[in-house]
């Protein structure tokens, strides 16, 4: 064995120190426990301690900390600043979100234009007020209000002026509102008010008087004065209802009554109002079903010539008899059809039915009443043309009857439609002449083919020189304008003689004939021809024939 030994001292220790990068290597006989000194125990092959290698221990963590402490301090300051900034920003955002949320809640519950509570908020407040009133045993009034003719303001002055009126009305309602009251804007021109502790009608009347007085003051739009008015309907709980929906519904019914009776007034709910509404709703549903199932019918009232010897035209009149035999008079179902929009369907049905039947009576003109609402339909003239074509009826055998009310509002639209119909050859008659207040202006604006004198003038004629003079004047006026004159409501032979003496062109009334079914009319026309062929004097025996018919 060759054993090579190198003493651990001097250069060898320096080499080990250099290799291990540990400074201050020394060789010591015993281990010394001191801070900052590293040591390694040397042992013999037999395990005996033979010495200790010691060195100066380095502390890299401490040195590193000493080097990075300034950077850590700066980082800590930056972090602290960021934390502070985030905290401040979070608080600001929290406040903004809270304000935004409050604003959103307010916007959701209030009308943007007037600042008043909206419908949903009003209903919630009304629910709370009614619960409190029920606990206290007091009454609460709900008042529904609607601005009269508000559309006219928008149409004439623009929507900006209408907005100013809404704001002015809202401010005035808040001004007269009792301390425990609530006022809200329900929709465009509708408002609602709640008055708590309303135990007597006198108090409510006093509040509503104040409302009307306040609203009646002029509203200034620039230099222009506008005058607004309110129609109001009131319902009082718990007498008229105990829940918000019921009270609002009944207040709305009372409002409809106020508007139907002239506007700028107030109505208090009564049970008869609800019965009327329910009856009208029931009738509209039944009428719609009757139209769908073709359950209506037409009656035809003949019109004779001057000598009462020839039937020149018949007026088609809608009739409704229910399955149970109940006869619904036109005075009931026609207004319901007008209000519910069924008049368009009903009018087209009557036109089609009358034109289809006209072939049974050759040479006789069929006259049909047309509602003002029908003229508002943009394709009304086209529908009339289609009906004439479908029934292969010449236009000159159809006469359209209109009343003065057809000219209310959209004059140009109505006049254009009438001119188009007349241009097609359809005759146009002005019905109930004299019942309005501006008939002469319509005669000047539109050349009617026929002028039908209102029955009131004929019925008042008997022995009344003033009524007779008016009747003669109307006949002469119509002749001067080149129109065919028809006298309605003929019931006596004296009336016929008077009208014959003044050369009235046509006559219509129970003396000639009552309204007849299509079958009865065909028989009446045959009998009429037989009677006139017998050369009976002036055709006055028609009264007996009419009674048989």
Helices 119-136 and 60-109, interaxial angle, to 10°?
A: 80
The most distant pair of C-alpha atoms in the chain lies apart, rounded to whole Å, by 175
Sign for the CA dihedral angle at 455, 461, 462, 464 comes to positive
- Token reading at 497: 């003689």
- How far, in Å, CA of 143 to CA of 302, rounded? 51
Give the Cβ contact number of residue 114 at 10 Å: 21
Mean pLDDT of the residues in the chain = 85
Residue 501 is predicted with a pLDDT of 92
Please list, in sequence order, all residues whose beta carbon lies within 8 angstroms of the beta carbon of residue 187, skipping any fewer than 6 positions away. Answer: 119
pLDDT confidence of 537, banded at 50, 70, 90?
very low
Question: Rounded mean pLDDT of 368-396?
Answer: 91
Query: Pairing relation of β-strands 398-402 and 427-433?
Result: parallel
Burial class (CB in 10 A: 0-12, 13-18, 19+), 157: middle
Sheet strands (E) in 45-175: 49-56, 140-147
Residue 500 is predicted with a pLDDT of 92
- How far, in Å, CA of 471 to CA of 477, rounded? 10
- How far, in Å, CA of 504 to CA of 498, rounded? 9
- Token reading at 110: 């209030």
Flag the least confident range among 25-29, 83-87, 377-381, 446-450: 25-29
Question: What order do you get walking across the sheet with 182-185 strand by strand?
Answer: 182-185, 190-195, 140-147, 230-237, 266-268
Residue 509 is predicted with a pLDDT of 93
Give the Cβ contact number of residue 406 at 10 Å: 25
Of the candidates 287, 150, 263, the one whose C-alpha atom is nearest the C-alpha of residue 212 is 263
- How far, in Å, CA of 123 to CA of 274, rounded? 21
Integer CA distances (angstroms), 496 to 311, 505, 535, 540, in order? 15, 11, 17, 9
Question: Rounded mean pLDDT of 212-217?
Answer: 90
Span 184-213, pLDDT tens digits? 999 889 999 999 888 777 888 889 999 999
CB 17 within 8 Å of CB 25: yes
Flag the least confident range among 150-154, 191-195, 467-471, 538-542: 538-542
Residue 193 is predicted with a pLDDT of 93
Residue 410 is predicted with a pLDDT of 55
- How far, in Å, CA of 393 to CA of 388, rounded? 5
Question: 0.75 cut: is pTM over it?
Answer: no
């Amino acid at each position: 064995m060759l054993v090579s030994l190198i003493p651990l001292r001097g250069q060898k220790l320096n080499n080990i120190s250099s290799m291990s990068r540990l400074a201050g290597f020394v060789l010591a006989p015993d281990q010394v426990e001191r801070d900052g000194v590293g040591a390694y125990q040397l042992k013999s092959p037999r395990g005996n301690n033979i010495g200790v290698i010691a060195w100066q221990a380095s502390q890299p963590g401490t040195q590193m900390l000493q080097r990075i402490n300034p950077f850590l301090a700066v980082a800590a300051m930056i972090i602290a600043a960021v934390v502070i900034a985030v905290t401040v920003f979070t608080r600001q955002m929290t406040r903004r979100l809270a304000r935004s949320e409050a604003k959103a809640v307010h916007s959701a519950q209030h009308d943007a234009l007037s600042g008043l509570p909206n419908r949903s908020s009003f209903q919630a407040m009304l629910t709370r007020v009614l619960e409190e009133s029920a606990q206290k045993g007091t009454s609460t009034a709900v008042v529904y209000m609607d601005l009269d003719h508000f559309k006219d303001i928008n149409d004439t002055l623009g929507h900006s002026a209408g907005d100013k009126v809404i704001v002015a009305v809202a401010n005035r309602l808040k001004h007269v509102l009792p301390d425990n009251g609530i006022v809200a804007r329900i929709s465009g021109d509708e408002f609602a008010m709640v008055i708590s502790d309303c135990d007597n009608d006198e108090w409510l009347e006093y509040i509503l008087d104040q409302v009307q007085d306040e609203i009646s003051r002029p509203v200034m739009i620039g230099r222009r004065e506008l005058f607004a008015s309110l129609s109001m309907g009131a319902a009082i709980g718990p007498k008229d209802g105990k829940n918000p929906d019921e009270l609002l519904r009944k207040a709305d019914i009372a409002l409809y009554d106020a508007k139907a009776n002239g506007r700028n007034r107030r109505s208090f709910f009564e049970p008869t109002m609800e019965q009327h509404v329910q009856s009208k709703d029931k009738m509209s549903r039944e009428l719609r079903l009757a139209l769908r199932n073709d359950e209506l019918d037409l009656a035809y009232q003949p019109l004779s010539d001057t000598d009462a010897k020839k039937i020149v035209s018949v007026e088609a009149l809608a009739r409704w008899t229910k399955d149970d035999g109940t006869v619904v008079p036109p005075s009931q179902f026609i207004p319901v059809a007008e209000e519910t929009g069924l008049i368009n369907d009903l009018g087209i049905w009557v036109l089609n039915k009358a034109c289809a039947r006209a072939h049974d009576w050759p040479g006789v003109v069929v006259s049909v009443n047309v509602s003002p609402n029908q003229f508002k339909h943009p394709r009304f003239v086209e529908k009339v043309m289609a009906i004439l074509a479908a029934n292969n009826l010449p236009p000159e055998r159809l006469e359209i009857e209109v009343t003065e009310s057809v000219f209310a509002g959209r004059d140009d639209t109505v006049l254009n439609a009438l001119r188009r119909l007349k241009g097609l050859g359809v005759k146009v008659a002005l019905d109930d002449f004299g019942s309005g207040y501006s008939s002469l202006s319509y005669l000047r604006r539109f050349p009617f083919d026929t002028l039908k004198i209102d029955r009131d003038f004929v019925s008042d004629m008997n022995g009344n020189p003033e009524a007779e003079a008016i009747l003669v004047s109307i006949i002469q006026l119509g002749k001067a304008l080149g129109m065919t004159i028809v006298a309605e409501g003929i019931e006596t032979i004296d009336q016929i003689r008077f009208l014959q003496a003044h050369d009235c062109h046509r006559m219509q009334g129970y003396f000639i004939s009552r309204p007849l079914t299509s079958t009865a009319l065909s028989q009446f026309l045959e009998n009429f021809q037989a009677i006139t062929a017998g050369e009976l004097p002036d055709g006055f025996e028609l009264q007996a024939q009419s009674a048989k018919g």
